[in-house]
Amino acid sequence: MYTEPRTATDRRSPCQSDLQDNSEEWLVYRMTRYRTGFVGVFGQTNVGKSTFLNEVLGRKLLMTSAKPQATRNRIQCVHTTDEGQIVFVDTPGLHQPKNKLGRHLLREAHRGARGMNVMAYVIEPWGAVHPVDRDALDHWADHEAVKVLLVNKIDTARGNALEETLLAYAALDQFADLIPISAARGIGLDDAVRTIISHLPEGDPLFPSDVACEHAEEFLVAELVRDHVFRHTRQEVPYASAVNVKWIREGENGVTEIRAEIVVARESQRGILIGKAGNVIKAIGSGARADIEQLLGTRVYLQLTVRSEPRWTEKDDDIERLTNIE
């Protein structure tokens, strides 16, 4: 039986002692020390990475969408439990880039892998190893992070698809654990979090337990507006849109006043975003306002404008400026 080390110098991991890697004591040991570390969430676009994080965090901090390429930045958020603290890094989904903005997103995803203790790689129950995953996992084969596979959307799996998926990805011999989940239905999330924590190094929390996100309010507010741009527009318009929060200030009677502009890449997109008699921009504004009120916990007055910056999605400087995270 593993016994508690008595001195700091005696704090060897049980791996170095006589314990077997999979013995019950080792598992108990892994679960009883406070653990802290960085966990990157990776995977193809639209597999549910941001949905998973929102569900784990218990609040809508990250933008999600039925349309691909919703996430544009490496976004850090903090999840604290009694067992450990995870600094999660959400990343843009892996995809075939079609323009400069797409290539920028892919670079962001790869940058997200730096310094991670654990890579949570998210897939869907496709039944076989997807070629994009094979390439990405090959690329990260020598990365020092522990890799955990999250098979999301198990609510959509038909027949033996889940079992076949688990077998196919296990055969890659890269994953310490493979966990079926459904982010949207809240299935398997506790298991996923506990397993991830068990792979983190021992350490004290890096953030106070009430911190959920280390980004400025402006960024989170901009993401909520962009979320509703994705909901209310189609084709190229959501991908040509960026949101810039001009200011947030305390107004009268506890109302928070926010001024934000949506930047599009062409004049015609401006018209689409505004819509007939302003119906599209109104729908975006009222949806975003409700979400921002939830986030900030105050009443919100949101003023939205639309401006076009021709071809910003093709210019490096503009991409940096308009997708910049603070």
Which residues bind to ligand GTP, rule: CB under 6 A? Answer: 45-51, 64-66, 68-71, 92-93, 152-153, 155-156, 182-185
CB of 252 to ligand GTP, least distance (A): 36
CB of 267 to ligand GTP, least distance (A): 27
Choose the contact partner of 152 out of Mg ion, ligand GTP, none; CB within 5 to 8 A by kind. Answer: ligand GTP
Q: How far is the CB of 47 from Mg ion (least distance, A)?
A: 9
Angle of CA points 148, 56, 110, to nearest 5°: 45
Letter string b/e over residues 143-155, b meaning 16 or more CB atoms within 10 A of that residue's CB: eebbbbbbbbbbe
Q: Which residues 27-66 are close enough to bind Mg ion by CB under 5 A?
A: 49-50
CA distance 244 to 318: 12
Residue 206 backbone dihedrals phi, psi, to 5 degrees: -90, -25
User: Does the footprint of Mg ion cover residue 71 (CB under 5 A)?
Assistant: yes
- State the nearest-atom distance from the C-beta of 227 to ligand GTP, in Å: 9
Name the residue among 74, 40, 322 with its Cα closest to residue 214.
74
Q: Which is nearer to ligand GTP, 136 or 248 (CB)?
A: 136
Closest of 261, 247, 244, 250 to residue 298, by C-alpha: 250
Question: Is residue 70 part of the contact set for Mg ion (CB under 5 A)?
Answer: yes
233 binding Mg ion? (CB under 5 A): no
Smallest distance from the beta carbon of 265 to ligand GTP, in angstroms? 19
Cβ neighbours of residue 55 under 8 Å, at least 6 residues apart? 183, 184, 186, 189
Nearest-CA neighbor of 178 among 156, 148, 154? Answer: 148
Tell me whether residue 27 or residue 129 sits nearer to ligand GTP (CB atom).
129
Residue 26 or 52 having the CB closest to Mg ion: 52
Q: Which residues bind Mg ion (CB under 5 A)?
A: 49-50, 70-71
